Amino acid sequence: QLATTIGAFHFDNVLMNASGVHCYDLTQLHELEQSEAGSLTTKSATSAKRLGNPEPRYAKLALGSINSMGLPNEGLDYYLDFALTHQQQLPDQPIFMSIAGLTLEDNIAMAQKIEASDFAGLTELNLSCPNVPGKPQVGYDFDRTKYVLDTIFEFFTKPLGVKLPPYFDLAQFDEMAAILNQYPLVYVNTINSLGNGLWVDPTDDTVVIKPKGGFGGIGGQYAKPIALANVRAFSQRLKPEIQVIGTGGIYNGRDVYDLILCGASMVQVGSALYEEGPSIFARLKQELAAEMQAHGYHSIEDFRGKLKIM
């Protein structure tokens, strides 16, 4: 009933973690495998292991979260080893691997390694990490995005998606979708966190995270209307071969339902997973099924993209 597909890949249900949340090491990844999630993604990797930014680098906010992790990760080989083991043990449960090179050269090196490996799942090229000092988000530079995709698709033949930052102007949706439509992408994942927000602790007038003077990516309920708009806008503009994964502001079954109404084929959970842990997937499945039943829908395809306008 909650099943979905992305490209040629089939998933038992539409739910999974947002990259960066509960996917740093084998312990967390195994907990996701054991959960009710329909799939999982690994933490965005760089070729070499990184420690990330100084702590505190995550804070819970009234309606979500702020983070400036700075791409702490175990390095691509660690996640590729996990992915290869996973697919041997659970070949009918495809997963996603996220890469976020600090340079194009690093993205090329990682994509070449994945291309040469036996990995048979989906690869996600993250164009939207806001948290590495001195490294602008590629997704806000349209010419650079084009150049990166030209370079990767010179050799990469496996199923590829991109993770985008949120956009706020209809002209940006037009321009970015026109670029993405030129490539054999399997999906677009929108949105990454709302980049470089800021929060003040009223008890002592300080910022709540240490890196970058307190600036960090905002997620949670703050992100939901932006996520809905970005999912909807790209669904309307992308060629049908490019599906949309919706991420941002998912706390309950109605949130999942809304992103699917806007066109999402799969839905990722970030801040709420961080706070509630992987048992959230069982709850979200129940709540989504109840929401669908209340509307008389029996499958995701019954209502995906069927947002009503006035």
Residue from the set 139, 217, 248, 253 that interacts with ligand DHB by CB under 6 A: 217
The only residue of 129, 185, 209, 280 in contact with ligand DHB, by rule CB under 6 A: 129
Q: Does 42 bind ligand DHB (CB under 6 A)?
A: no
* 224 vs 304, beta carbon nearer ligand DHB: 224
- Do residues 65 and 219 touch, judged by C-beta distance below 8 A? yes
Piece of the chain touching ligand DHB by CB under 6 A; list 9-17, 67-75, 182-190, 221-229: 67-75
The count of chain residues that interact with ligand DHB, using the rule CB under 6 A, is 16
- Two structure tokens written together for 198: 């800021």
How far apart (Å, rounded) are the C-alpha atoms in residues 21 and 23? 6
Residue 213's SS3 state is helix
Report the distance separating Cα 261 and Cα 267, nearest Å: 11
Would you name the residues annotated as active-site residues? Answer: 129
Q: By CB under 6 A, is residue 194 in contact with ligand DHB?
A: no
Shortest distance, position 56 Cβ to ligand DHB, whole Å: 13
Which alpha helices (DSSP H) does the chain contain, by range? 26-34, 76-89, 104-116, 142-152, 170-180, 224-237, 253-261, 271-276, 280-294
Nearer Cβ to ligand DHB (4/247): 247
Stretch 83-122 residues interacting with ligand DHB (CB under 6 A):
100
Q: Which of 283, 217, 227 is nearest to 20 (CA)?
A: 217
Q: How far is the CB of 190 from ligand DHB (least distance, A)?
A: 12
Q: Which residue's CB is nearer to ligand DHB, number 7 or number 52?
A: 52
The residue within the footprint of ligand DHB, chosen from 9, 14, 16, 20 (CB under 6 A), is: 20
CA distance 106 to 48: 9
**Helices 142-152 and 104-116: crossing angle, nearest 10°?**
30
Piece of 25-33, 74-82, 125-133, 281-289 that binds ligand DHB (CB under 6 A): 125-133
Q: Which is nearer to ligand DHB, 65 or 131 (CB)?
A: 131
Cα 266 to Cα 251: distance, rounded to the nearest angstrom: 15
Q: Which of 174, 160, 153 is nearest to 98 (CA)?
A: 160
The answer to whether 137 contacts ligand DHB (rule: CB under 6 A) is: no
Q: How far is the CB of 68 from ligand DHB (least distance, A)?
A: 6
Residues that bind ligand DHB (CB under 6 A): 20, 44, 52, 68-71, 100, 126, 128-131, 192-193, 217
